[in-house]
A and B are shown apart, each in its own frame.
Chain A
């Protein structure tokens, strides 16, 4: 049972346009959400996060939106650049267990291709 779903395996966008990556979750206990980016032959790297008490978090060209009632979050990249071409993973956490303990549940990822 997949608790974090990224239904689009791939997405192609023209350089300079907006990229919108979507993520749905089923576990209502999730209260912290993250996006990771992964280039080939590298490990995932943290991109941006959002707590369930917020509905938007912005960091430069990257904005994450959270719709708790729909159990949906999205990552907007504006403007998209060729260097943004990577696999993007959505992840969620259902708690903080103290002393460095929290588990992240990841989606399968969406491969973004930004076309020059």
Chain B
């Protein structure tokens, strides 16, 4: 158990819809990262928040947005969903106490767009 909690674990929705994925980082971790893993693809970095502020942006579509709340949990909002958005979405957290390289990943939220 990494200590990172993601909900929901599975989500099936239709094209054009909007969904919200939620992540609770490890206790005390200030940084939250979102990654997308599509079929046969590696983990694509989407966005990072540190203590409530956006810190880095990767290959995140304009239809996607995220935020980190004062209690440090984070939400990833995906709108106007397309079939190609079907993927496993991972949240990870880190403590920010130096670059040990260790991100702690949740189990992921599997999104299926029909």
Is A4 a contact of B42 with CB atoms below 8 Å?
A: yes
Complex alpha-carbon distance, A8 and B101, angstroms: 24
Complex alpha-carbon distance, A92 and B56, angstroms: 16
In the complex, B64 has a CB within 8 A of chain A: no
Q: Which residues, 79 to 116 on A, are CB-close (under 8 Å) to B?
A: 89, 91, 93, 96-97, 99-109
In the complex, B21 has a CB within 8 A of chain A: no
Contact flags B86-114 to A (C-beta < 8 A → 1, else 0):
00001010111101111111111000000
Q: Give A11 Cβ to nearest chain B Cβ, in Å.
A: 16
- Interface band, chain B: 20 to 34
A102 contacts across to B, CB distance below 8 A: 99, 101
In the complex, B2 has a CB within 8 A of chain A: yes
A34 contacts across to B, CB distance below 8 A: 101
Given the known inter-chain contacts A100-B94, A101-B50, please indicate yes or no for A49 contacting B55, CB distance below 8 A.
no
A-B pairs with the 3 shortest C-beta distances? A100-B96, A43-B105, A100-B31
Please name 12 pairs of A and B residues whose Cβ atoms are closer than 8 Å in the assembled complex, sorted by A.
A4-B42, A43-B106, A43-B107, A44-B90, A45-B105, A46-B102, A46-B104, A89-B42, A100-B31, A100-B96, A106-B43, A108-B40
Identify 13 new A-B residue pairs, CB closer than 8 A, beyond the known A100-B51, A105-B45: A4-B42, A43-B105, A43-B106, A44-B105, A45-B105, A89-B42, A91-B43, A93-B99, A93-B101, A103-B58, A104-B43, A104-B45, A106-B45
